[in-house]
Amino acid sequence: MSQVTVKEVGTIVKGGMQKGLERLIGQPATSLCARYHYRGILKKAGKDFLVFLQTRVVEQSGPSRGAAPTIEDILGTWMIVFYGAIECVSQPNFSLAPLSTNPNDLNEVMENLDGSIQNVQDVLKLCVGHPISVLCARYHYRGILSEVGDESLTLAQVCIVEQSGPAKGEAPSVEDAMGSSMVISYGAIECISQPNFVFAPLPSQG
């Protein structure tokens, strides 16, 4: 499996995020954002987002040349990461550590994204009616994706996740069951995913 060279990284920066990432499609990669590293198989590079499959949340990476991250949370499903939240995308040695897939009701949808999907709204429209988790600077917000707009999305039956606990957990460790709808600006979002805890019961819509 070929990795992107230092020379190619310069081409990625000059050519724009989408064009540069196209050469990594189908390969393991890591994106560094404000909260965490995210690593997985890069499935899609759109105009304003990327999609990972078999994703893991790297909480402590350890050395770049390490065989595996020091501490990571196994999400095992898809993740949408917004370009505006990404500091860099790379292939440290630990990105080549084994990955795995956990059962998920939208995995097949994400695995079969085609060339017509270019904007994040196009992907999110495929998720309407499903429970998702939206990670912003302060909290996760989980609920049912009910609307997809040009500049924001709307969640119904919202819970504010203050401490998520493991992605494979049956429910978040600490959350505030708000129970009403919430409009979230795309500009505030780091990533969107479907950890196992999003399937925990939600409060009735207020």
| CA dist 100 → 41, 56, 78, 110, 178 (Å) | 10, 9, 11, 15, 33
73-103 pLDDT, tens digit per residue, is 999 999 999 999 999 999 999 999 999 999 8
- Which pLDDT tens digit goes with each residue over 176-205? 999 999 999 999 999 999 999 999 999 998
Amino acid at 60: Q
> What is the rounded average pLDDT for all residues in the chain?
91
Q: What was the pLDDT predicted at 13?
A: 46
pLDDT tens digits along 137-179: 999 999 999 999 999 999 999 999 999 999 999 999 999 999 9
Give pTM, 2 decimals: 0.92
* Short-list 109, 133, 137, 113, CA closest to 198: 133
